[in-house]
Amino acid sequence: MMTKPRLPGLLRSASLAALAAVLLAGTPGAGATAQTVGEIRIGLLSQTPEPPPSVANPDEPAADDGLAGATLAIADNNTTGKFLKQTFLLDSVEVPPDGDAAAALRELAGRGDRFVIVDAPGATVEALSKLPEARNLLLLNANAPDDTLRGSACAANLVHVAPSRAMLADALGQYLVKKRWPRWFLVTGRRPEDKLYADAIRRTAKRFGAQIVAEKEWTAESDVNRTAESEIPVFTQAKAYDVLIVADEVGEFGDYLSYRTADPRPVAGTQGLVPTVWHRTHEQWGAAQLQSRFKAAAKRPMTARDHNDWTAVRVVGEAAARTRSADPDRLIAFIQSPDFTMSAFRGAPLSLRPWDGQLRQPVLLAADRSVVSVSPQEGFLHPRTELDSLGYDQPETLCKTRGKTTP
């Protein structure tokens, strides 16, 4: 079909700079005059905690989960960049679960990366944001949902591409309330992050007028796979409720609840109907294009983690295109200004909340093989943008260091 060979899997390889340079040389640019090429280096610091041996997850995450999203976004940025004489480079470093993340950040900063995407647990994100070497960087949190990072632990050099737990819980809660399923049975796992997820669900219930009519804690440490059929009907006996909401972020038991509850009720939360930034069946708002572009490059569907890393790299690329600048200081200021908006295939444009550095965004509600809905739901109004009905709004923020400037 093609008359000339195309660049194979555009910019998939590690030698991004070299390939970008070739592209630049061979492409008619925006102007005829020779212009210096603006180089923008983006670091990606990934750290994946080891799942406990009891985890039920049958889907082993891909080795390049997250990284593949960032790599595609670098290619996207470079395609745009060739018309603006801008080239983007990705420095990816994987820190072992017990490794030295601070040393990795210092190394990235030493290479001249002013933008560092942190795809790591919340504790790592917080520690890195406090390092002296991070002071003039922009850290883009692409993974940790912890609300404290947006609240009491917020930092001027830290923005959040991943939605917070409060945003995820609000996205789910709006839909359940709209469906008139306001009585929730909350089941919380034994890990600390499960308690935080449960806290977010309680906050949502309060905000949107739902009731938590029953609560239980799942404490079993063993793999319940073989015993679920007998254990779960007993465990889920509760007074009348509409939806069982499960808080089990790591996936120890949540997948065993559906179809085994004592009463015939749907399961939502960390399993069942899940609030998420991305799902492999999402195709609205041009998402089908991103899905097929990603699949062609990575040979697998895009995950939520891939999408967060893709978005983080695109935030920098969009700022560079809009300002036509490769100056990191200018880009950092622009990203946090009210003029910054970008498209991320979920309908409404994304922008940054100045009061806590959180990226405003729609949230998908996904079942195993379909996207059920997209929040914010119609009717949850907000004077600024309906997106601010998800998560901590300006008057509620616990972030003090960023200042409550009007967006």
Q: Are the beta carbons of 275 and 364 closer than 8 angstroms?
A: yes
- Least Å from the CB of residue 241 to other proteins: 33
Describe the crossing of helices 122-129 and 101-110 by its angle, rounded to 10 degrees: 50
**68: part of which helix (H) or strand (E)?**
helix 67-84
- At residue 63, φ and ψ (nearest 5 deg) are -60, -30
Among 106, 195, 293, 300, binds other proteins (CB under 8 A): 293
- Least Å from the CB of residue 62 to other proteins: 21
- Cα–Cα distance, 273 to 389 (Å, whole number): 20
Among 321, 333, 367, 398, binds other proteins (CB under 8 A): 321
Among 13, 57, 343, 405, binds other proteins (CB under 8 A): 343
- Least Å from the CB of residue 373 to other proteins: 14
Q: Are the beta carbons of 350 and 357 closer than 8 angstroms?
A: no
Q: How far is CA 21 from the centre of its chain?
A: 31
Cβ distance to other proteins smaller for residue 3 or 36: 3
Point out which span in 92-100, 234-242, 257-265, 381-389 binds other proteins (CB under 8 A): 381-389
Residue 199 exposed, middle or buried by CB count within 10 Å (0-12, 13-18, 19+) = middle
**Per rule CB under 8 A, is residue 325 in the interface with other proteins?**
no
- At residue 401, φ and ψ (nearest 5 deg) are -80, -20
Point out which span in 72-80, 98-106, 145-153, 156-164 binds other proteins (CB under 8 A): 72-80
**Per rule CB under 8 A, is residue 372 in the interface with other proteins?**
no
**Per rule CB under 8 A, is residue 335 in the interface with other proteins?**
no
Q: Which stretches of 122-248 are DSSP H helices?
A: 122-129, 147-150, 165-178, 192-208, 228-235
Task: Identify each DSSP E strand in 255-377 by its residue range.
Answer: 267-269, 274-276, 351-352, 359-360, 363-367, 370-375
Residue 354: is the preceding peptide bond cis (ω within 30°)?
no
- Least Å from the CB of residue 78 to other proteins: 9
**Per rule CB under 8 A, is residue 18 in the interface with other proteins?**
no
**Per rule CB under 8 A, is residue 289 in the interface with other proteins?**
yes
Point out which span in 101-109, 151-159, 182-190, 341-349 binds other proteins (CB under 8 A): 341-349
Among 15, 292, 370, 401, binds other proteins (CB under 8 A): 292
- Cα–Cα distance, 344 to 331 (Å, whole number): 19
Among 30, 103, 240, 262, binds other proteins (CB under 8 A): 30
- Residue 249 makes CB contacts below 8 A (sequence gap 6+) with 189, 191, 193, 194, 197, 270
Among 13, 15, 27, 222, binds other proteins (CB under 8 A): 27
- Least Å from the CB of residue 250 to other proteins: 34
Q: How far is CA 41 from the centre of its chain?
A: 21
Cβ distance to other proteins smaller for residue 234 or 381: 381
- At residue 13, φ and ψ (nearest 5 deg) are -75, 175
Residues 132-161 that bind other proteins (CB under 8 A): none
Cβ distance to other proteins smaller for residue 228 or 331: 331
Closest among 276, 246, 402, 296 to 346, alpha carbons compared: 276
- Least Å from the CB of residue 136 to other proteins: 28
- Kindly report the number of other CB atoms within 10 A of residue 392's CB atom: 22
- Residue 372 makes CB contacts below 8 A (sequence gap 6+) with 175, 273, 365, 366
Point out which span in 60-68, 162-170, 284-292, 389-397 binds other proteins (CB under 8 A): 284-292
Cβ distance to other proteins smaller for residue 108 or 387: 387
- Calculate the alpha carbon distances from 222 to 54, 218, 232 in Å: 6, 11, 14
Among 76, 126, 306, 309, binds other proteins (CB under 8 A): 76
**Per rule CB under 8 A, is residue 79 in the interface with other proteins?**
yes
- Least Å from the CB of residue 11 to other proteins: 11
**Per rule CB under 8 A, is residue 349 in the interface with other proteins?**
yes
- Contact footprint for other proteins (CB under 8 A): 1-4, 6, 10, 23, 27-28, 30, 76, 79-80, 82-84, 286, 289, 292-293, 296, 314, 318, 321-322, 324, 341-343, 347-349, 385-387
